Amino acid sequence: MGTQDGTGSLFTVLRRGRHVMVVTGADPGGTLAGPALEPYRDLFEVVTRSPGDARAFRGGPVFLVRPDGYIAARGRPDRLETVLGYLRELSGETGISRPGRPAVASGAPNIHRKGAA
């Protein structure tokens, strides 16, 4: 696999404790060059197929893997909405409502007090 440091393994990159974007397609540069990913580039490392890997195929899936090894989001080079949504949440850009918790505007403190209105 190709990494930012050269050739290595996904396991080695995951041990660094960061999110990892795995690009399986034949054109990882095209996938990663999109302006939509630019604001989030500091949130993840990239792993691609090694140059000349016969298993690489055009338009292959893109996976965002959490530091604990679980897949956080999956997309395709032309459909990164799920990946971008996860990255927005990770960066704190969106207010996402979860059961029992109100949505929080970006940058606003999330303070909960029992019995407070």
pLDDT band at 3 (very low <50, low <70, confident <90, very high): low
**CATH for 2-91 (3.40.140.10, 3.10.105.10, 3.40.30.120, 3.40.50.10420):** 3.40.30.120
Each domain of the chain, given as residue ranges in start order, spans: 2-91
pLDDT of residue 84: 94
Q: pLDDT tens-digit profile of 41-100?
A: 899 988 887 655 555 556 678 899 999 989 999 998 888 999 999 999 999 886 554 444
Strand (E) positions, 4-66?
A: 6-7, 19-23, 44-48, 62-65
Tens of pLDDT, residue by residue over 14-23, are 788 889 988 8
Phi, psi of 13 (to 5 degrees): -65, -40
State the pTM of this model.
0.67
CA 4 distance to own-chain centroid: 15
